[in-house]
Each structure stands twice: as C-alpha cells, then as structure tokens.
Chain A
Amino acid sequence: DAKTTQPNSMESNEEEPVHLPCNHSTISGTDYIHWYRQLPSQGPEYVIHGLTSNVNNRMASLAIAEDRKSSTLILHRATLRDAAVYYCILRDEDFGNEKLTFGTGTRLTIIP
C-alpha cells in the first residue's frame, strides 16, 4: 500500500492560513487523496478529498502537486476550533479498498 508522510506537529496563529503538507511519493494512478481530522475527544471527521485537480469546499482546499507525489491541505483562516490531528490518507479506486488507513497525522496547534 502506498504510504503517506506528514510532520508530527505544526503551529499556526489564529486567523492566519495554515498549510499542512503530505508526501506520498509511491502514490499510484488510482489512489485518491483523502484528509480527515480528529478534534480532541472526538471521532475523525472528513475534510476533503481529490484525485488530480485542486479541490475546494467549505472547510478547506486541497492542492495536489502536478506529479501527485505530494499534496497540501489549506485552511484559509484558522480558528481555535481547527486545533486537531490531521490525517492524510490514500485510498485506491479499486474495489476492496474501502477501509481508511490512518498514520499518525499532524497535530495542529492554533495560537490565539
């Protein structure tokens, strides 16, 4: 299975943009890039996903490198409620790969 590499932790100031990187150099052509986050004492929640093109939704943006070997989750204006562990996950398009394989993620701290 293709693996992802993320920094263990990051800090950002409140109300500033945050760029969370993820490296996936062994990504296959059929792997979707998913991001989930886990707020303190809660279950993981979906943030965004993409395949090749950059994606935007109400929570965040996902920027995918042209060679797809890395991606960046962008929170445009971080709030204290965005403090969480962020997981970058690859999911193969082929049937039978429905499970999410979490790594250790990036713990994001927001400084007031």
Chain B
Amino acid sequence: GAGVSQSPRYKVTKRGQDVALRCDPISGHVSLYWYRQALGQGPEFLTYFNYEAQQDKSGLPNDRFSAERPEGSISTLTIQRTEQRDSAMYRCASSSQSGTSTDTQYFGPGTRLTVL
C-alpha cells in the first residue's frame, strides 16, 4: 500500500518568504509527527498530532513555525519569514496507534528546504 508522502520533495525559497510543507500519512493512521533533520544529524522532533489535535509542539523552534492537521489526515507545516538557518530536510512520520511507546513510526521521503 501507499506509504507516507510529502510534497514538495524540494523547495528553494528566498529569505523572508513563507513556505508550506505538506504531509499525507498512511491511510487510517492516527498519529502524525514532524521532524527536522540537519545534514549528518539524526532527525529532531518538532511536533505531533493525534487525529486533528496537536498534542505536543515543544520541538517547534520559534513562533515562525506552525503546523495543522484540520481533518485528522493531511498535515501542513508552515514556516513564516524563512531564514537561512531553516534550511534542512523536513520529515513527516505517521503511526497507527496513539499514546503508546511501542508503535512503529513510518517516515516519508522528506522535503528538502533550501533558503537562499
């Protein structure tokens, strides 16, 4: 079946522009996660949703970052007034369960964001 998909796969933008990154989780998956990965580092947690509710946004670096999942399926991560330090790979993951420490997270291919 279809895995997690993300779009666009690559995004180049100029400093100061807003960007919206989309994640389409595996159908029926309850939980959705956003991570950011710098080159040579492991992914870093940003935020996560159970259904449409944002349960944890402790990893969002500042108030320029926001995320939503209005219908409990597709999610959008928005970065306002982008800065060069926002350049990274943004990864989305989904899982079929919520509130457990044993569920498997399935990751998408990521969106490579470059801010010029």
B-binding residues in A (CB < 8 A) = 32, 38, 42-46, 49, 85, 87, 91-105
- In chain B, positions 26-80 with a C-beta closer than 8 Å to chain A are 31, 33, 35, 40-45, 48, 55-56, 59
A-B contact pairs, 17 of them (CB 8 A): A43-B107, A44-B93, A46-B104, A49-B102, A91-B101, A92-B101, A94-B101, A95-B99, A96-B99, A98-B31, A98-B33, A98-B48, A98-B98, A98-B99, A99-B33, A100-B45, A105-B42
The residues of B that contact A101 with a CB separation of less than 8 Å are 45
The residues of A that contact B59 with a CB separation of less than 8 Å are 99
Judge if B22 is at the interface, Cβ distance under 8 Å.
no
Task: Identify the closest chain A residue to B42 (Cβ).
Answer: A102
The residues of A that contact B98 with a CB separation of less than 8 Å are 98
Contact A102 B44 (CB under 8 A): yes
Identify which of B33, B42, B48, B107 gathers the most chain A CB atoms within 10 Å of its CB: B42
Task: Identify the closest chain A residue to B110 (Cβ).
Answer: A43
Judge if B18 is at the interface, Cβ distance under 8 Å.
no
Task: Identify the closest chain A residue to B4 (Cβ).
Answer: A43
Task: Identify the closest chain B residue to A32 (Cβ).
Answer: B101
The residues of B that contact A85 with a CB separation of less than 8 Å are 42
- The number of inter-chain residue pairs (CB within 8 angstroms) is 66
Return the contact of B109 from the options A43, A91, A98 (Cβ within 8 A): A43
Contact B42 A42 (CB under 8 A): no
Contact A87 B42 (CB under 8 A): yes
Judge if B114 is at the interface, Cβ distance under 8 Å.
no
Contact B44 A43 (CB under 8 A): no
Return the contact of A98 from the options B42, B44, B103, B108 (Cβ within 8 A): B103
Shortest CB distance A20–B (Å): 15
Task: Identify the closest chain B residue to A45 (Cβ).
Answer: B107
The residues of A that contact B100 with a CB separation of less than 8 Å are 98
The residues of B that contact A45 with a CB separation of less than 8 Å are 106-107
Q: Write the B81-116 contact mask toward A (1 if CB under 8 angstroms, else 0).
A: 000000000010101001111111111111000000
